[in-house]
Amino acid sequence: MTFFSIGRSLPVSAGGAWLCLLALAAGSSAQISAVRTEGTSAAFVPLQSYVMGETEGDLLFFGGLSAMGFHSLARDGRATFPHEAFNRYVHLHDPDSGTTRSATISTLPHPLRQYLVTTNAQAVQIDEKLYIYGGYGPETRTPSWATWDTVVEIDLPAVRRAILNSFDLPFEAFAIHRSPAARVAGGSIVRYGSYFALVGGSNFTGNYGEEVSFRNEYSEAVHIFDPSQSMTEPQRSYYDPQYHRRDGNVSLITLGLAGNQRPGFIVHIGVFKPGREVLPEVWEHPIIYDTQSGEMSLKTNFTQMMNQYEAPRASFHSARRGENYLITLGGLSGANWDGHGFVHNITIPWVRDVTMLTLRDSDVISETVVGAALKPVTNAELVLNTYLPRNSLGQINWDDLVAGEILLGHFYGGIEAANPGNSAVTRASDTVYAVYATIDKFRLEATPLRAGEEATLSVIRAAPGSIVYFAYSTAGGGPTYLPPLGLSVDLSRPIIVLGEAEADAQGLAEITFTVPPGAPETDVWIQAVNRESPGLYVKSNQVRSRIER
């Protein structure tokens, strides 16, 4: 039924003639325009630099530091990482109730306790097992410290049951394996498809605060593991002085354009360059691993300016654009943002700025500031909102996000600075922070539909200079797949094109029309479609309205 006098049928068969006159788009029509954090009332414990697993909706936290903030850089012989500062509990957090319960590891035998009392370990979860690699911590029977060559395998459901029932942690829930590759702290593990990579890190031995006896040997390696073959022996390893990095951010990405997309990961910086102990210098060029070629590539054509140290982060992917968007929530940075540009800062200050890296195919094309966190925080993990759309790799699916502010997820504890700056007071945070992002993308708005009166449909963030088509259905909200567009619109057949408009330089396009006086009271589903570039069509949000008389 066509109730608008200017309506015409929308072809849904091959050909889609109504789209043939769409103009060539100029630029992108979507972005993450704002990110913010706020503290919640959830009960947590002071904890930073931990590893985390998830089972049956609950989170389990192991290791880390509970009684100190950022470590001292002094080399005067004092214990930089005092034995008493290490976390000796397993914490179980229920996100639904916001409560935390804990169990001591003191009932476990030596040397297992020793391998669980570490900071900056690396971990990967495979099904219901968490595997903790290495970490730096105190030797329980000596006054010294070491980085372990262990892989501690943990049965998460068994640990969870013990804590919920107030039982001692069961020794049989843990298994110890040895792996030379695991002897690092401050590295990162990223899982992509059926593989995972252990990236960078250092083998620390002795007291970090003792210049003479302390040793720090960077792995300068990236190890690729195949869990179906071995959790301790890498399938292959890459070595290069460019991998002389630790305490950085490593994120899952999807490489390639539509039809040839495959998993990979990006090392978006890390610290420190060799020979820079007095004034440590962060790295400036990201590294990308492509699973198709099996190659690690240093992106010397792009210089990352901010947020090079480990911090809460999220990875988005748009399959339609062949783009990734990586959000990092402040912390320690090699530059400041002055409101107009990046200002290099050799003191590596604490910052609140949230930055976004945009990757197109396998190239990093931009770095922008997209918001600010409530406090500068490092060494904490962001747990994504379970209701967010994900792709098969676990990235947030940008194409299925709706416009507006969304809850990205929560992060727990971390090293929290009281204020931005070069000499901030820090602590092991006991706060659970909620992270919100404003998704600014091609969005449709409609004024009320009243019989005999004018109404307006408008979209924002359309591709400037392109043609936007407005369509509707009175039969329902779809979906209906349109082969010429390569997408499913949220309208049911029959679909009627109501009108079209050219987007202005700001991406605004709108049409005004009169609802016929005789239009019946009925529900109407409305949507707009825009071509951003040849072969790339995007749809707006759906607006459901009702004609009033």
Whether 18 and 144 share a structural domain: no
Residue 511 lies in a domain: yes
The pLDDT, as a whole number, for residue 18 is 32
Q: What is the pLDDT of residues 195-244, one digit of tens each?
A: 999 999 999 999 998 888 899 999 999 999 999 999 999 999 999 999 99
Considering the domain architecture, whether residues 307 and 232 belong to the same structural domain is answered as no
Q: Are residues 212 and 190 in the same domain?
A: yes
Residue in this structure with the two tokens 């909706």, named with its chain if needed: 57
Q: How far is CA 19 from CA 30, 130, 321, 467, in A?
A: 21, 50, 19, 9
- Which of 460, 539, 458, 464 is closest to 502 using CA atoms? 464
What would the pLDDT profile of 125-139 be if each residue is shown by its tens digit? 999 999 999 999 999
Q: Which of 214, 242, 270 is the last residue of a domain?
A: 242
Q: Grade residue 461 by pLDDT with cuts at 50, 70 and 90.
A: confident
pLDDT at 3: 40
Report the distance separating Cα 360 and Cα 398, nearest Å. Answer: 14
Answer for the pair 336, 409: CB distance below 8 angstroms, yes or no: no
**Residue range 335-372, pLDDT digits in tens:** 999 988 999 999 999 999 999 999 988 899 999 999 99
- Label the pairing between strands 454-460 and 443-446: antiparallel
> Do both 407 and 450 map to the same domain?
no
Please report which confidence band the pLDDT of residue 7 belongs to, taking 50, 70 and 90 as the band edges. very low
Which pLDDT belongs to residue 278? 61
Q: Is 379 exposed, middle or buried, given 0-12, 13-18 or 19+ CB atoms closer than 10 A?
A: buried
Same-domain pairing of 67 and 108:
yes
Global pTM reads 0.84
Confidence band of 106 (pLDDT split at 50, 70, 90): very high
Residue pLDDT, tens place only, 235-273: 999 999 999 999 999 999 999 987 789 999 999 999 999
Share of the chain above pLDDT 70, in %: 94
Supply the pLDDT for residue 30: 54
Residue found by looking up tokens 């570490």 in the block:
118
pLDDT surpasses 60 at 8: no
Helix residue spans in 81-155 (DSSP H): 112-116
Domain range spanning residue 135? Answer: 50-119+121-242
Residue 198 bridge partners (DSSP): 189, 223
Which of 250, 271, 345, 338 shows the shortest CA–CA distance to 305? Answer: 345
Q: Tell me which of 226, 242, 258 is where a domain ends.
A: 242
300 and 425 co-located in one domain: yes
For residue range 273-308, list pLDDT tens digits in order: 997 656 788 999 999 999 999 999 999 999 999 999
Task: Establish whether the linkage from the previous residue to 494 is cis, with ω within 30° of 0.
Answer: yes
Q: For residue 201, is it within any domain?
A: yes
For the stretch 478-534, pLDDT in tens is: 999 988 887 889 999 999 999 999 999 888 999 999 999 999 999 999 999 988 777
pLDDT at 88: 98
Range scoring the smallest mean pLDDT among 12-26, 93-107, 148-162, 280-294: 12-26
Averaged confidence pLDDT in the chain:
90
The token pair at 227 is 């869990």
CA distances from 413 to 21, 177, 275, 417 (A): 53, 29, 32, 11
Instruction: Check whether 187 has a pLDDT greater than 50.
Output: yes
Give the pLDDT score at 27: 38
**Is residue 532 situated within a structural domain?**
yes
35 lies in some domain: yes
Rounded distance between C-alpha atoms, residue 404 and residue 314, angstroms? 17
The residues near 277 (Cβ < 8 Å, ≥ 6 apart) are none
Same domain for 232 and 93, yes or no, is: yes
User: Which pLDDT value is given to residue 23?
Assistant: 26
Report, as an integer, the average pLDDT of 29-52.
91
Domain count, the chain: 3
Assess contact for 410 and 383: CB atoms under 8 A.
Answer: yes
pLDDT in tens, 192-203: 999 999 999 999
Domain boundary residue, one of 223, 242, 261: 242
- How much is the average pLDDT of 396-416? 92
